[in-house]
Chains A and B, each alone.
Chain A
Amino acid sequence: MQKKNDIKSINARSRFSLDSDKLPGLLLMLASLFFFTFTLTGRWSSGAGIGARLFPQLTLGLMFFSGLVVFRSAGGKEAKEKFKDLDMRLILAFLALAVLFFFAVLHLGLAVGVFLYLLSMFLFQLRERRIFFRAALLPAFGITVFIWALFTYFVRIVLPTPLLF
């Protein structure tokens, strides 16, 4: 009985937590409603109720009801252990760096772009260690050579000519 009360109190406390399943359930329902309106207004082929809008509507209906079930059965469950120490700022930084890297490859070329990206990533991650040459510069150079050789000789994929040089 005590255990049940404990669980109830934990659930009540984390009811509005971002880690609870209520959020994905709600988002699923909202997304399905949002897209459903487009299936009603879109000028798509139709025919005896089995036109182009039928399947999207069915899948959105399934999405809505599964979202509803997820939302209703959410008991304020905590996020998985793996995600507890997840830093969203780091993820955003990683994504931003990825976009920069990609444009660096297009403008500066494969080798230069990859080298700069890897070096900055290694330096960022190993910032506390202060062993620049061995821990960051050499691996960045070695991996760049590997990626360059992989693309140029092994899979022979040609990327667009860099704009700068």
Chain B
Amino acid sequence: MSELFIQVLEGAFAPSVILYTTVGVFLGVTVGAIPGLSGDMAIALLLPLIYRVAPAAALGMLMGIYKGSMFGGSISAISFGVPGTPAAVATVEDGYPAKLKGRPKQAMLTALYSSVTGDLLSTLILVFVAVPMAKAALHFGPVEFFALYVFALMMISLLVVGEMKKGIAAAAIGLFIGTIGMDPMMGSIRLTFGISSFRGGIPLIPLLVGVFAVSELLVQFGKECARLSGEKMAKMEEHARELVGYDPAKDRMNWKIYWSTFKATLLGSGMGTFIGALPGAGSSLAAFMSYGLARKLSKRQEEFGKGSLEGVAAPEAGNSATAGASLIPLFAFGIPGSATAALFGAALVMQGISPGPMMIEENKVIIYTLFVIIIYATFINLFLSHGLIPIYAKLSRIRACYLVPTVFALALLGTYASRNSLFDVWILLAAGVLGIFLRKYDFPLGPLVLGFIVGPGAEKALRQALLMGRGEWSFLLKSPIALSFYGLCILSLVLLHYSALKKKIVEED
């Protein structure tokens, strides 16, 4: 035990690991602050580049990006009223008005402190919950696992922001793409259309980078975002300058202010952790629900929307609290609960770690090391961001016309270099085009990627379960655990349908 403890500490606090994590946090806050770039995109872009880096350092860097980007989105949201990431949309509601009222520093630091608080709480829950859950999952057989996969896919599709049917359609596309290539049980070659490169299946990295990063870059280029975003930002700045009679003396942050937002921070942290742990419910949903809850329970409801610091604290705590919680299903069952967790799953696979209930047991040192890194990355985020907020705010003004080609070049080169395969480049571009199409028609991308990743596991579990039951489908319903997962699926469907119906009736009235 003590030997494990020493190994974990040595691994987590190795200078290279700290350096990579710090660079990750810096990159994360930067990409989060730049509208159009996101943590997911940065993680996807870095995946092909970090496969030669030691596991702890590589995973620490990705974790740093994830954590940093959660806070980074609030920088441009507060500074310019333009959310850096979708998760920061709710922060604009009060963050930007607070800035216009001459309290940018207070708003920014409130966002930082509540973000760090939410992140830390959810990380601690991850650390203490994932291990016992993984131990419980060791008793699962194919029947239970298939039910769990169905539950995860169902939740992913239902809880996405947008339309449920499109979530299910996107998951189905992902599941189908995952069936191309060799079948996981018998080794039959399926749906390759005579193209030998398809035999190994669609490669994960080009698909991820294409869907998440390339499609967004193509959209930005297609809009000539270079000009548009520059003009928009300039207008916002001009507007802000006109309204602010800034007095630094009135904009000091202190414990009293932090304490006044603490209730909202706790509410956001709780909501974010709960929503983050559910497969599929993303940080945007957590931020909005935290904002709504904090507003409902606040004694100063009338100040919301007019620069309330509680209105900044709640969504920031909410979106950051999803960071740790969304990794719970991945660490416990090997099923990624969000698109970012799916990217982490891919990173783990690249480092030779197979996500699943045995993951923690088989890779104790690296997983516990990762837990320590996840915790201290939160403090790196706090100290780094505290000092560098003005620099991040300046970085968020980098013109998209420089960013888009640069990031695209990195995506293309990184994808090619990961396997020296031209086929991967074609997949990257095709995935980018598919991503644009899906974005245009408002299909969520998360379920597609998750369907692709969990598909082979779900297929294996289904076919193993059916083999055990001699082809009888009713065998899938013979386990109480499996039945409870199916029951949860039906319950979620009914609840969501009921709430949609209620909303429709209210709207019609």
Would you give the shortest CB distance from A51 to chain B, in whole angstroms? 7
Given known pairs A67-B169, A87-B223, the reply for A99 and B442 (CB within 8 Å) is no
Q: B226 touching A126 by the CB < 8 A rule?
A: yes
Q: If the complex has contacts A62-B175, A66-B168, A157-B417, are A38 and B191 also in contact, measured as CB distance less than 8 A?
A: yes
* Distance, CA A45 to CA B190, complexed state (A): 10
Contact between chains at A102 and B223 (CB < 8 Å): no
Q: Are B413 and A147 in contact (CB under 8 A)?
A: yes
**Using a CB-CB cutoff of 8 Å, which residues 439-498 of chain B contact chain A?**
439-443, 455, 458-459, 462-463, 466-467, 470-471
Task: Write the chain A residue with the least CB distance to B219.
Answer: A86
Q: How far is the CB of A98 from chain B (nearest CB, A)?
A: 6
Cross-chain contact of B191 among A28, A42, A63, A95 (Cβ < 8 A): A42
Q: Does B246 contact A (CB under 8 A)?
A: no
B221 contact set on A, CB distance < 8 A:
90-91, 94
What residue in chain B is nearest A44 (Cβ atoms)? Answer: B188
Contact A24 B441 (CB under 8 A): yes
Rounded to whole angstroms, the CA-CA distance of A163 and B405 in the bound complex is 24
Over the window 375-419 of chain B, the binary record of Cβ atoms lying under 8 Å from chain A Cβ atoms (1 yes, 0 no) is 000000000000000000000000001101110111011101100
Q: How far is the CA of A33 from the CA of B414 in the complex (A)?
A: 35
Would A147 and B226 count as touching, CB distance under 8 A?
no
Q: Are A160 and B52 in contact (CB under 8 A)?
A: no
Contact A125–B183 (Cβ < 8 Å): no
* Complex interface bits, B154-187 against A, C-beta within 8 A gives 1, otherwise 0: 0000000000011011011101100100010111
B218 within 8 A of A: yes
Contact B52 A101 (CB under 8 A): no
CA distance A90 to B191 in the complex (A): 33
Q: Determine the chain A residues whose CB is within 8 A of the CB of B467 once the complex forms.
A: 50
Smallest Cβ-Cβ distance to A69: which chain B residue = B165
CB of B418 to closest CB in A, whole Å: 8
Contact with A along B51-63 (1 / 0, CB 8 A): 0110000000000
In the complex, which of the residues A52, A63, A80, A157 contacts B183, with contact meaning CB atoms closer than 8 Å? A52
Residue interface mask A5-38, B partner, CB < 8 A = 1: 0000000000000000101100010001001001
Is A83 interfacial (CB 8 A cutoff)?
yes
Given A48-B471, A62-B168, also A101-B412 (CB < 8 A): yes
Across the two chains, which residue of chain B brings its CB closest to A83? B440
Are the CB atoms of B406 and A118 closer together than 8 Å? yes
Contacts of A95 in B (CB 8 A): 218, 429, 432-433
> Of all chain A residues, which has the CB nearest B49?
A155
Secondary structure dominating the interface of B: helix
- Residue B50 lies at the interface, judged by CB distance under 8 Å to chain A: yes
A98 x B429 contact (CB < 8 A): yes
B361: chain A residues at CB < 8 Å are none
Residue of B nearest to A27 (CB): B437
Residues in A with CB closer than 8 Å to B172 are 59-60, 62-63, 66
* Nearest neighbor of B436 in chain A, beta-carbon distance: A91
Chain B interface, number of residues (Cβ within 8 angstroms): 67
Within 8 A of B (CB), among A50-107: 50-56, 59-60, 62-63, 66-67, 69-70, 73, 79-80, 82-83, 85-88, 90-91, 94-95, 98-99, 101-102, 105
- Say yes or no: A83-B224 contact (C-beta < 8 A), given A48-B470, A102-B412: no
CB distance from B390 to the nearest CB of A (A): 22
Contact indicator B169/A118 (Cβ below 8 Å) = no
Q: With A49-B471, A155-B52, A159-B413 known to touch, is A59 a contact of B455 (CB < 8 Å)? A: yes
Contact residues in B for A60 (Cβ distance below 8 Å): 172, 176
B248 at the interface (CB under 8 A from A): no
Which single member of A73, A101, A151 contacts B165 (CB below 8 Å)? Answer: A73
Interface contact B52-A156, CB-CB below 8 Å: yes
Shortest CB–CB separation between residue B210 and chain A, in angstroms?
11
B218 contacts A91, CB within 8 Å? yes
Is B301 in the interface zone, CB < 8 Å from A? no
- A140 CB, nearest partner CB in chain B, Å: 9
Q: Does A141 contact B (CB under 8 A)?
A: no
Chain A residues contacting B92 (CB-CB under 8 Å) are none
Distance in angstroms between the alpha carbons of A157 and B417 in the assembled complex = 7
Question: What separation, in Å, do the CA atoms of A153 and B207 have in the docked complex?
Answer: 27
Name the B residues within 8 Å of A63 (CB-CB): 169, 172-173, 176
Question: Is there a chain B Cβ closer than 8 Å to A112's Cβ?
Answer: no
- A66 and B165 contacting across the interface, CB-CB below 8 Å: yes
Against A, the Cβ 8 Å flags (1 = close, 0 = not) of B210-227 are 000000001101111011
B425 at the interface (CB under 8 A from A): yes
Chain B nearest Cβ from A36, distance in angstroms: 10
Cβ A151 vs Cβ B413 within 8 A: yes
| A98 near B408: Cβ-Cβ < 8 Å | yes
Interface centre among A48, A51, A63, A150 (most CB of B within 10 A): A63
A45 contacts which chain B residues (CB < 8 A)? 183, 185-188
CB atoms of B190 and A56 under 8 A apart: yes
Q: Assuming A45-B183, A51-B186, A87-B224, is B168 touching A117 (CB within 8 A)?
A: no
Residue of B at shortest CB range from A157? B417
Residue B420 at the A interface, CB < 8 A? yes
Q: Within A90-148, which residues are at the interface with B (CB < 8 Å)?
A: 90-91, 94-95, 98-99, 101-102, 105, 110, 114, 117-118, 121-122, 125-126, 139, 143, 147
B190:A44 contact, CB within 8 angstroms: yes
User: Do A147 and B441 contact each other (CB < 8 Å), given the known contacts A42-B190, A44-B190, A55-B463?
Assistant: no
Bound-complex Cα distance A51 to B175 (A): 17
Q: How far is the CA of A117 from the CA of B405 in the complex (A)?
A: 8
**In the complex, how many angstroms separate the beta carbon of A49 from the nearest chain B beta carbon?**
6
Q: Which residues of A contact B223 (CB under 8 A)?
A: 82, 85-87
8 contacts between A and B (CB under 8 A): A39-B191, A42-B190, A48-B471, A59-B175, A70-B165, A82-B223, A98-B429, A102-B412
Residues of B within 8 A of A (CB): 49-50, 52-53, 165-166, 168-169, 171-173, 175-176, 179, 183, 185-191, 193, 218-219, 221-224, 226-228, 401-402, 404-406, 408-410, 412-414, 416-417, 420, 425, 429, 432-433, 436-443, 455, 458-459, 462-463, 466-467, 470-471
Closest 4 pairs between A and B when the two form their complex, measured CB to CB: A66-B169, A121-B405, A45-B186, A52-B188
